[in-house]
Structures are given as structure tokens and as C-alpha cells.
Amino acid sequence: MKRLEINAEVSNLAAVSAFVDEQLEAADCSMKSQMQIDLAIEEIFVNIASYAYAPGKGKAVISVDISEDRTASIIFEDSGVPYDPLAKEDPDITLSAQERTVGGLGIFMVKKSMDDMKYEYSEGKNILTLVKKL
């Protein structure tokens, strides 16, 4: 498992993406899966950077594990405010944009593009795991 600890700031998104992409490329990940993972990384990391420690600042830890069966697990950890993004009800995408409430669409897209997502709050940390078969 490879691990990156970084300040949870939107300006570090490129470094987080490069770190994960390096692991995916080493595993010969398809371009389609890599693009789906990159979109998910952006959504999750920007949410952590924007909301986990607001109005302060903190760290995020991103870990990548690629198993022998070619399944990637990307794990995000932060010590910010406890928040389970999976607990929120999915937006009703049958409604027009004007009729929908604000928020939740990014996490919904991540859920739809990953094979699995898990959240836990343990030892003062939010731990969100994204799972994608490569």
C-alpha cells in the first residue's frame, strides 16, 4: 500500500491526483477506469479540503492499494468534523436542476462510478474507501 500525507488544501489536488495516477499506471489501469477514479478523487479531496476542517486547516492521508485481483482501493482519511457522505440521500435526478436541492450530486456521481464505497469513523478519523475493479 502506498501512502501520501498532505495538507488538505484545494491547491494540493494536482499532487493527490498525480500520486494516485502513478499507482494506477503502474498497475496498467485502463484509461476509462483511471478517468472515473480521477473524477472521484477530485470530488472527495476537494470536499475534505473545503469542509473537513473549516474554517481551519488540517491534513489528509490518501492510500492506494491494488490487490492481486486488480482491484484498487483508494482510502481517504482526515481528522476533521465527522461526516459520512454515504448517509445522505441520493439526489432525485429525475427533477430539473431548478427543482433539486443544492448538494449531493458529486458524491452521487462518485457512488455510481465506483464498484463500492465504505465509510467509517474510527479513532477520531473519517475514513472513506473507494473500490474500483481495474
Dist CA 50 CA 53 (whole Å):
8
Question: Domain-by-domain residue ranges, the chain?
Answer: 2-133
- Convert the pLDDT of each residue in 38-77 to its tens digit: 999 999 999 999 999 999 999 999 999 999 999 999 999 9
CATH architecture of 2-133: 2-Layer Sandwich (3.30)
Find out whether 16 and 45 touch, Cβ atoms under 8 Å: yes
Find out whether 4 and 19 touch, Cβ atoms under 8 Å: yes
- Convert the pLDDT of each residue in 6-33 to its tens digit: 999 999 999 999 999 999 999 999 999 9
